[in-house]
Amino acid sequence: MNTPQTAPALPMPTLRSIDGILHVEDLALPAIAERFGTPTYVYSRAALTAAFEAWREALGDRRSLVCYAVKANSNLGILSVFAALGAGFDIVSGGELARVIAAGGDPAKVVFSGVGKRREEMRQALEAGIGCFNVESAAELERLDAVAGELGRKAPIALRVNPDVDPKTHPYISTGLKSNKFGVAFDEALTLYRRATSLPNLHISGIACHIGSQLLDPAPMAEAGQKVLGLVDQLAAEGITLEHIDLGGGVGIRYRDERAPTVADYLAPLLAVFAGRSETLCFEPGRSLVGNAGLLLTRIEYLKPGEEKNFAIVDAAMNDLARPALYDAWHEVVEVAPRAADAARYEVVGPICESGDFLAHDRSLAVAEGDLLAILSAGAYGMTMSSNYNTRPRAAEVIVDRDHAHLVRERETVAALYAGEHALR
Ligand SMILES: *Cc1c(COP(=O)(O)O)cnc(C)c1O
């Protein structure tokens, strides 16, 4: 019988067990492993679409723009799904802009964030006609004015301000505190906006902030919105009126048992702050759009029982998914075809020559050598943070659409890894 049993415990909405085998949408994971090999990132088009629609529904008929943060997952296939849904894009480099355009994204809906924009990247973005530069310093403001002048264009800008709220998240991913490198202080922002009015090649379009990542509590974002709104009104009193307010990304997702609010619940207090305002509200979600729309499919190479710990050595590693090694992040690990045998506890580790090369600690798994595992919630900051450490070719990437698998990135070849290198002769 082909009755799907929904597994509400799993954070990926389109992952389900059919006859004891995990499927993404209507496609069995073993069939994907067979066809494309392992390790492979597997994304669900329906899950990507549902995540985007959740944002659109939460924003209702407010004037708004959802700009997907490309750095979370920059595969052209992913970008093309969001472009077709009408998304804008938040980029942090000229490379990401090239990807957005190659995937069919609308440059007019692009916002360009980042503290270190190069002249070349400014030129590229101005020529493409992007929607807004989120300027992060006084020096950047002057440079952008000069580059726009050389091209005979006006650069649309927002200042990224630092609302100095504590997002209560991991210190590496909190960005809205005074003590970090992002944005400009509130007091400085007024001075910079005044300066911007006197620069001939800038068009003041809006204001931006982004307070951190994996936020589960809506209060800090609403507090930041309140503070930004105060500044917007102060600017208006000086005759500087803004068309848009960009509140950044950072909405968290469920990895384990976190109580992650829905996007609608997350945004509710913030939208209340902006009730009756006419400015367009922009958002830059990354993780919340792709995190739980993807998994990393890997095969167990060896089981290695030890005196203190058992190891399941898999063919994916920290170079494929860095988050556990980097942030001690927790990812759910599930058997693709669970065995009836008794489960044992395993360290799930990769083949890389580092003790820090682990994907999960102390998990209960009923498995044998050669079995497949799915590492969940791997759609965001998975592939984009991957490397070639240990000369490991990067994984293939597949987007599942019902019973069809689109190969959206071929597995890297070893030859490609050293194609630009030269031995001394
Ligand atoms: C990283 C980043 C985002 C996306 O963050 P998520 O936590 O993935 O939503 C949005 N805006 C800026 C400026 C960022 O640096």
Domain ranges across the chain: 4-44+291-417, 113-285
Structure tokens given for 146: 């000069």
* Report field, pTM of the whole predicted structure over 0.75: yes
How many angstroms separate the alpha carbon of residue 173 from the centre of ligand 1?
Answer: 9
Helices 263-273 and 218-237 pack at an angle, to 10 degrees, of 30
Helices 186-197 and 138-151 pack at an angle, to 10 degrees, of 20
Fold of 4-44+291-417: Lyase, Ornithine Decarboxylase; Chain A, domain 1 (2.40.37)
DSSP H or E stretch at residue 28: strand 27-28
Predicted pLDDT at 178: 61
Predicted pLDDT at 208: 98
CATH 3.20.20.10 for domain 113-285: yes
Predicted pLDDT at 182: 83
How many angstroms separate the alpha carbon of residue 136 from the centre of ligand 1?
Answer: 14
Predicted pLDDT at 48: 98
Predicted pLDDT at 179: 63
The answer to whether 224 and 247 are in contact (CB under 8 A) is yes
How many angstroms separate the alpha carbon of residue 381 from the centre of ligand 1?
Answer: 11
How many angstroms separate the alpha carbon of residue 73 from the centre of ligand 1?
Answer: 11
* Residue that has been written with the tokens 């290198």 in this structure: 421
Give the closest residue (by CA) to ligand 1 atom 3: 249
Within the chain, which residues score under 50 in pLDDT? Answer: 1-8
Give the mutation target among 210, 247, 263 for probing the ligand 1 site: most ligand atoms within 8 A of CB.
Answer: 210
Question: Quick one: which atom of ligand 1 is closest to the CA of 114?
Answer: 13
- Give the ranges where 260-410 is alpha helix by DSSP (H): 263-273, 287-290, 323-327
Question: Quick one: which atom of ligand 1 is closest to the CA of 291?
Answer: 8
The answer to whether 167 and 212 are in contact (CB under 8 A) is yes
How many angstroms separate the alpha carbon of residue 66 from the centre of ligand 1?
Answer: 12
The answer to whether 150 and 143 are in contact (CB under 8 A) is no
Question: Quick one: which atom of ligand 1 is closest to the CA of 251?
Answer: 9
CA distance 48 to 81: 8
353 an active-site residue?
A: yes
Whole-angstrom Cα Rg for the chain: 23
Give the mutation target among 71, 132, 135, 168 for probing the ligand 1 site: most ligand atoms within 8 A of CB.
Answer: 71
Predicted pLDDT at 41: 99
Strands 280-283 and 64-69: parallel
- As for ligand 1, residues whose beta carbon falls within 6 Å of it are 69, 71-72, 90, 113, 210, 213, 248-251, 284-288, 380
